[in-house]
Amino acid sequence: MKKITLLALLFIGSSGIYAQKSDEQVLKEIYKSALTNSKCYSWLDHLSNDIGSRLSGSASAEKAVQYTKAEMESIGFDRVFLQEVMVPKWVRGEKETAYILDNKTKINVPICALGGSVATSKNGLTAEVIEVQSLEELVTLGKDKIKGKIVFFNRPMDNAQIESFHAYSGAVDQRYAGAKEASKFGAVGTIVRSMNLRLDDFPHTGAQSYGDLPKSQYIPTAAISTNGAELLSKTLKNNPKVKFYFKQSCEQFDDVLSYNVVGEIKGSEHPENIMVVGGHLDSWDLADGSHDDGAGVVQSMEVVNIFNNLGYKPKNTIRVVLFMNEENGLRGGNKYEELSLVNKENHIFALESDSGGFSPRGFSLECDDAQFDKISSYAKVFEPYLIHSFVKGHSGSDIGPLTSKKIVKAGLKPDSQRYFDYHHAANDKFDAVDKRELELGAATMASLMYLIDKNGIETK
């Protein structure tokens, strides 16, 4: 009897040992490992405080590639490799200046160029301002009222939304397409209220696009802090002839070579099935990008650190993918899928963390109904960790391009209330991330990776 057990143990390996443990027991071990023996917080410390902001094409983005590659090599993947990807290189240049010109009074306000914007002339740009609440309002106003002016987009994010991402979706068209649309009506520049639910003094940058406008029609565009937007709006109500001045020297360079960083553990039973867990390595340039998306990067790496701590050998191939260029191009995500097609890879699951390092609340899932039922049936085992929210919805931008048949895609859903306090702004720094909240997110990701690895995504 004893002999048989011993022999059996020799053959069943670690996934066999794990087959004998209840899910409850494994999740307990996962959360304990994350809360008492994790590396993610110190990885984030280095990424944020020693490397800093990581805009695509910057020297620090390349440092981050080398650092995360080396760290992943040190924790025992089967292989760690880079995927070459050409990325846009946009540089902010000198710090922007701006003021409201009310008759002869200059009132300085905090702005920052939006990503991809052109510069103003060297002396800056001064013009009258027209405030609008939406892209549609441009059509109503027409060329006569817009031509030669700076369009000021001032529709606030809707504070009545419970989830802040819904408020963001409802307002971000002004930032992304404001300049393109206003230019069509002869505007000379645009100023956009920051995507921020709070009233404060931080301007929030972010991607904008001129779409298919001819280059001659590109106009400079910047975000203004929410307090600045309130002030500008109030000043305009008293004096519609108020002018606005801003100066920015940002510049778009040729694309440069960068990398996705990929760490891989071969599956012990189904090496052909790939499960991705990732975040994006690039950040905006105004701060460390500790929440967006340093947190997602180190949490994804932590998933494998937890598996190692537990001695768990996955049945499927696990890939930690640190995508480059989510913020202003999505080149890394697209490149990953392009190579996946070339290599005829079969992805069964992808999990992204790109909503900040806050207390985890659940998952947002892209899958069919039967798969959703299967995955949300795990809610019970997540309950002791206060993970309750399993919903259908957007998973993650970087894993968006993945198209493998039947793939399930998931996004970690942390508490969203504070996310837009920091998003793309100068305060998205290390000290805004709580160690335990970050670790609980990593544990939550590792737990879902474990359950999917064990049970697959097939449904009857």
**Catalytic positions, written as ranges:** 326
Return the number of the residue (221 or 227) whose C-beta is nearest a second copy. 227
Selected from 108, 386, 393, 458, the binder of a second copy by CB under 8 A is: 386
Close Cβ partners of 349 (under 8 Å, ≥ 6 residues apart): 275, 276, 316, 407, 408, 409, 410, 449, 452, 457
Q: Are 320 and 262 in contact (CB under 8 A)?
A: yes
Residue 430 lies near a second copy (rule: CB under 8 A)? no
- Residues in 180-199 that interact with a second copy by CB under 8 A: 197-198
The answer to whether residues 31 and 385 touch, using CB atoms and an 8 Å cutoff, is yes
| Residues contacting a second copy: total by CB under 8 A | 27
Please choose, out of 6-14, 113-121, 206-214, 413-421, the segment that lies near a second copy by the rule CB under 8 A: 413-421
For the CA atoms of the chain, what is the radius of gyration?
A: 24
What value, to the nearest 5°, has the Cα angle with vertex 384 and ends 378 and 388? Answer: 55
Helix (H, G, I), strand (E, B) or coil at 222: strand
Q: For residues 299 and 357, is the Cβ–Cβ distance under 8 A?
A: yes
Could you write out the three-class secondary structure of 68-108?
A: HHHHHHHCCCCEEEEEEEEEEEEECCCCCEEEEEECCEEEE
Interface with a second copy, residue 435, by CB under 8 A: yes
- By CB under 8 A, name the one of 89, 247, 361, 423 that touches a second copy: 361
Rounded CA separation 99/345 (Å): 54
Helical pair 23-36 and 435-455, crossing angle rounded to 10 deg: 150
User: In the window 331-360, what residues touch a second copy (CB under 8 A)?
Assistant: 359
Q: Does 162 bind a second copy (CB under 8 A)?
A: yes
Q: Which is nearer to a second copy, 183 or 225 (CB)?
A: 225
Residue closest to 31 by CA, chosen among 351, 379, 387: 387
Nearer Cβ to a second copy (243/418): 418
Tokens in use for 109?
């306000």
Interface segment toward a second copy; rule CB under 8 A; list 142-150, 154-162, 262-270, 342-350 = 154-162
The residue among 368 and 434 lying less far from a second copy, judged by its C-beta, is 434
- Per-position x/- string for 365-384, each x denoting binding to a second copy as judged by CB under 8 A, each - no binding: -------------------x
Report the nearest approach of a second copy to the CB of residue 118 (Å). 35
- Residue from 15, 126, 346, 389 in contact with a second copy (CB under 8 A): 389
**Least gap, CB of 66 to a second copy (angstroms):** 29
**How far is CA 413 from each of CA 258, 310, 328, 441, rounded to the nearest angstrom?**
29, 25, 22, 9
- Residue of 388, 393, 403, 458 that binds a second copy (CB under 8 A): 388
Q: Which is nearer to a second copy, 32 or 406 (CB)?
A: 32
Number of neighbours of residue 62 by Cβ within 10 angstroms: 17
Would you give the binding string for a second copy spanning residues 21-40, x where CB under 8 A is met? ----------xx--xx----
**Site for a second copy, residues 263 to 322, rule: CB under 8 A:** none
Q: Which residues contact 74 (CB under 8 A, 6 or more apart)?
A: none
Site for a second copy, rule CB under 8 A: 31-32, 35-36, 159-160, 162-164, 197-198, 359, 361, 384-386, 388-389, 415, 417-418, 421, 434-437, 440
